[in-house]
Structures are given as C-alpha cells and as structure tokens.
Amino acid sequence: MHVDNFAARPHAASREEGGRPSGQQPVVIARGVTKTYGRTRALTGVDLEVRAGEVLGLVGHNGAGKSTLMRVLAGLEACDEGMVTVCGRDASGEAGPRAGDFRGVRMAYQETSLCPDLTIAENIWVSSRHCLPRMGWRRAAGNGARRRLDEMFPGHGVAPGDRVEDLSLAQRQMVEIARASLVDRLDLLILDEPTESLGPDAARSLYDYVRTLTAGGVAVLLISHRIREILSVADRVAVLRDGAVIAERPASGLGEHDVLTLMGAEVAERAGNERVTAAEGASEDRPVLAEMRGTTAAGLRDVSLRVGVGEVVGLAGLAGQGQQEVLERLWRPVRRDTKVRGTRAYVPGDRQRSGVLPLWSVAENLVVSAMRGIARRGLRRPAEERAVVRDWVERLAIRGGPDAAMTDLSGGNQQKVIVARAFASAADLVLLDDPFRGVDVHTKTDLYGLIRQEAAQGRSVVWYSSENAEMAHCDRVYVFRAGRVVAELTGAEISEERIIAVSFAESDGAQNHE
C-alpha cells in the first residue's frame, strides 16, 4: 500500500462523473449528538450528514460548537448521546485516536498537529504509518508528501526533509492539509479554517484540489469563517448555532447576507438596562491613560488605539486577529509605540492555564494581586486582606465563600474570583482577555455590571471578547481583522450585526496574509 495511491482508488474510479452529489450515499451521519464539558453543553443535539462527493460548508460564530462537532466527527472524542455512523457502521461506541472505524476520516487541524522538531516525511509517518512500507518509509512518505503538495499547492517551496519548525505559517498549513489527505482510503476530509494562514493563490489551488477530491467521491467538510469562500466552494451549507445545526441549505442561491442572518446576526433584546449610559462623544475629552501609535509587530499591523480614563474599550472581531497581541502589549509595554500611564491588572481567559492557582483557596487566589498593595515593607496584613476578600466575595456572590478550595468551584465562580483578583488590586487599567467564555449567564450579568461600576469610578478597562454581544457594554469598540483595526465603533454604532458584518467583510482583510 502506498500513501499517495489516491488516484488509483478503485471505488473512486468506478463512480460516475458528472452526477452531482445529491444522490450520493452519506459517508458520515450524526444523529442527535450531544456533548457536555463540565457544566457547558457544547453540542445540544446535532443532526448532520456528509455525503460522498460533496463539499459541506459548516459555519457558525465563535462558540457555536464547531470545534467540538469536528472532534466528534473525526472520532477524537465520543459523544455523550446520539449516534455517529461512518460509512454505514455505527461508530459512536468507539472513539479515541486509535479508533479503527474512523480511519477513513481525516482532519486538517487549525492549530497544526505537526511536530515542529520532525521533518515533513517523519510527520507523515506519524499520522499515516499504517499505509507506509516498513522499509524505505522515509522515501515513500517524502515522495507522497511532495506529490500531494505539488498537486495541492504548486510552488509550495517545501522539501520533505525540511523540519516543520523552519517553515512559514502558510507552509505549515499546507503540510498539515497534505498530511490529512495522505491516506490509503479517504472517505471524509475535514478542513478546519484551512485558508486562515494561506495566501489567496494557495487558497485557490487548495479549493481546486478539493473539487478534484470530491469528483473522486471523497466528502469534504469545510469549516471557515470566510463565508464567501464557503459559498463558492461548498455544495451545501450547514449553520451551527448554540450547539445545534439550525439550517442546512444548498449553497447555490444563498447570499452572504443570508448566511450571516442565519448565524445569529439578528437583533437581540440587549442587556441595556444595566448599562450605565456613558456620555457619548465625551470619550474624546477624557484624559488618555493608554495609547498605541501605529504599532506593527508579530500579529499586528499599524494598530493605533487609545484608552481614556474611566473608559471601557472593546476589542472585537473573530478570534485570533490581533486582539490578544494588543492586550499583551498593554500588559507589558516594552516598546516606545505603546504608552501606559498607571498600573495594570490582567484577567486571563484560559483560566486553567493562566488564571487558577490550583492549590489555594478562594481567598488566597483572590487577594494575590492586591496583597502587594496592602502589605507594608513586604509583610502581609492579614486583617486588611480579609476585609478585601470578604468585600469581593460578597459583592460577586462567590459561592462557597472565601475558604472553599479553588478547584472545587464551578467554572463561573472561578472566573468571578479571577476577575475579582484584578479589580481588587489598585490597578488603573484592567485588561480582560475574553474572560467570560463558558461562564453562565447570571455570572456574566453580574460581571458586566461590575465592569460598568468600576469604570464609573474612574477605572479603565480594555476588553477583548469573542462574544460580540458583550461589546454592547463598551464605550468604544475596535474591530480587528488580520492584525488591523478595521473599524472603530462608538456609542450607538456598537451592535452585534455591525461587528459581525465588519469582521467577516473580506474585501479589506483577506488579502493581507503573507
């Protein structure tokens, strides 16, 4: 067997050319699939089928459940309820990386699953070893990779002996896609944001290749936030929202606006009641607390922004467009193009990795930032610390009280503690790194109120959120795309539709790669 014998696949060659895929049998069927992580229901009952020889586009906004659904379809995780059928066989019982039923389902990850220290050929061995010869595997893998890359991305400039860490981001993405497609029998290829770091030419040749694949009977599941791309490549479009597929339409006749509407760009009854109406227009007159002037760096292009005293500034847009780089800059203003007057506090979004101090209680976690300000000559003052803790536990109604172990708390309460940690300190500027993901609605409402209260008392907040609805609580919002500020919205201009529309607008963002 060889990895690159795709062209000689018997069952593919025998298929009728020309018949559109609507009549083809389904390759993967999901029925009523649910998946819960802790208290979060990522999938609430997904029904989806991907048919042989078609490209199914999957769209959904941040947190709609795309990633989880893909992991379930690729067999990396088992679903809690429901059924996943692969090529007619029920595969829901068997999941995990070694599951045999999912062998024909391959996924190109967004965060590449390549080993940076290994060469391309070695990476191919890791994921496709069952179809490589024992002797001469390196040459076979290398040849397969090179041939597939030549087919997919002419002029890729990658050699099979190159180490992955030496490749550019775009080249890594190419290798990742080629890696996913190199297998002896490919039934379904899942592409997760495949063009995120590819240039327009590479994207075009990738989609040409996708058509070749589908013509040979392979099903392709394409996930992208570039709706125009999806509409031009996919045969059908499925819209995922709040963990369920809410619409499945043929791509022909569907417009970009229709998809946006389906995704949830409809008007919401905003939580405007607790919004302290910031004096609109007055933001120009506020004294400036922090400022970036034409910053260009890794992930940022010519970003200028300004934070006034007592102002809540939002950073919106799709995930990973430069918002976190801005926060990083403001947190550690090392260069001259970033100026911050005053002290800072940071609320991380990934609480397990960069928020929770797991061995400590709520009180200890809460007060660790404020401790320095309270202490005198390096000696702690427990009574004052306790007062601060009591105040915040009460104010945010943290369940379990100050003495509960941090790890015993629910995610929402943990997040409250970490937010309280930042606000309990005397910092002038609080940086929020998408901290409310996966936090329940009541907690969120409490915390939104807190942010407005603190701002009213003269504290400034810079708030990155992947949930556009949250931006309504900001005085001013910068929308990011590909490391640039593509829009600055103030006051009444801030609306979810507006943000979605700007952040998906491809005209000015898509060509900026490379």
SS3 at position 310? coil
Distance CA 356, CA 182 (A): 40
Q: Site map for other proteins, 16-45, x if CB under 8 A?
A: ---------------------x-xxxx-x-
Which residue is associated with the tokens 């696949």?
9
* Cβ-based nearer residue to other proteins, 12 or 316: 316
Q: Which of residues 350-389 bind other proteins (CB under 8 A)?
A: 350, 353-360, 364, 368-369, 371-372, 375, 378-380, 382
Tell me: does residue 397 bind other proteins (CB under 8 A): no
Among 5, 13, 22, 117, which residue interacts with other proteins (rule: CB under 8 A)?
117
CA 304 to chain centre: 24
**Least distance from C-beta 215 to other proteins, angstroms?**
26
Q: Which of residues 190-249 bind other proteins (CB under 8 A)?
A: 241-243
DSSP conformational letter for 25:
P
Task: Say if CB 486 and CB 503 are below 8 A apart.
Answer: yes
Distance CA 504, CA 514 (A): 19
Rounded to the nearest 5 percent, the helix, strand and coil shares of the chain are 35, 25, 40
CA distances from 26 to 65, 85, 89, 326, 361 (A): 22, 9, 11, 45, 51
Tell me: does residue 126 bind other proteins (CB under 8 A): yes
Using CB under 8 A as the binding criterion, the count of chain residues that bind other proteins stands at 97
Distance CA 268, CA 330 (A): 32
Amino acid making up residue 429? L
Distance CA 311, CA 462 (A): 8
* Cβ-based nearer residue to other proteins, 41 or 399: 41
Please write down the long-range contacts of 408-413, taking CB distance under 8 Å and 24 or more positions apart.
409/362, 410/38, 410/39, 411/38, 411/39, 411/40, 411/351, 411/438, 411/439, 412/39, 412/439, 412/440, 412/442, 412/443, 413/443
Tell me: does residue 268 bind other proteins (CB under 8 A): yes
* Cβ-based nearer residue to other proteins, 109 or 463: 109
Among 269, 285, 287, 492, which residue interacts with other proteins (rule: CB under 8 A)?
269
* Cβ-based nearer residue to other proteins, 166 or 391: 166
* Cβ-based nearer residue to other proteins, 158 or 234: 158
**Least distance from C-beta 15 to other proteins, angstroms?**
29
Among 34, 62, 85, 261, which residue interacts with other proteins (rule: CB under 8 A)?
62
Q: Site map for other proteins, 82-111, x if CB under 8 A?
A: ---------------xx----------xxx
Q: Site map for other proteins, 424-463, x if CB under 8 A?
A: -x-x------x--xxxxxx-x-------------------
Which is nearest to 84 in space by CA: 100, 73, 71, 76?
73
Task: Say if CB 36 and CB 51 are below 8 A apart.
Answer: no
CA 321 to chain centre: 10
β-pairing, 300-308 with 288-297? Answer: antiparallel
Tell me: does residue 348 bind other proteins (CB under 8 A): yes
* Cβ-based nearer residue to other proteins, 217 or 314: 314
Among 112, 214, 414, 415, which residue interacts with other proteins (rule: CB under 8 A)?
112
Task: Say if CB 465 and CB 283 are below 8 A apart.
Answer: no
Contacts of 139 (CB under 8 A, 6+ apart): 121
The span of 113-121, 212-220, 253-261, 281-289 binding other proteins (CB under 8 A) equals: 113-121
Among 345, 388, 409, 430, which residue interacts with other proteins (rule: CB under 8 A)?
345
**Least distance from C-beta 126 to other proteins, angstroms?**
5
Q: Which of residues 147-166 bind other proteins (CB under 8 A)?
A: 155, 157-163, 165-166
Tell me: does residue 302 bind other proteins (CB under 8 A): no
* Cβ-based nearer residue to other proteins, 250 or 342: 342
Six token digits for residue 131: 């179809």
SS3 at position 197? coil
Tell me: does residue 333 bind other proteins (CB under 8 A): no
* Cβ-based nearer residue to other proteins, 97 or 287: 97
Q: Which of residues 473-492 bind other proteins (CB under 8 A)?
A: none
**Least distance from C-beta 39 to other proteins, angstroms?**
6
**Least distance from C-beta 465 to other proteins, angstroms?**
11
Q: Which of residues 277-296 bind other proteins (CB under 8 A)?
A: none
**Least distance from C-beta 399 to other proteins, angstroms?**
16
* Cβ-based nearer residue to other proteins, 211 or 335: 335
* Cβ-based nearer residue to other proteins, 23 or 272: 272
DSSP string, 96-138: STT-STTTTEEEE-SS----TTSBHHHHHHHHHGGGS-STTHH
Task: Say if CB 215 and CB 14 are below 8 A apart.
Answer: no
Which is nearest to 176 in space by CA: 188, 161, 189?
189
Distance CA 45, CA 245 (A): 8
* Cβ-based nearer residue to other proteins, 257 or 372: 372
**Least distance from C-beta 56 to other proteins, angstroms?**
19
* Cβ-based nearer residue to other proteins, 333 or 438: 438
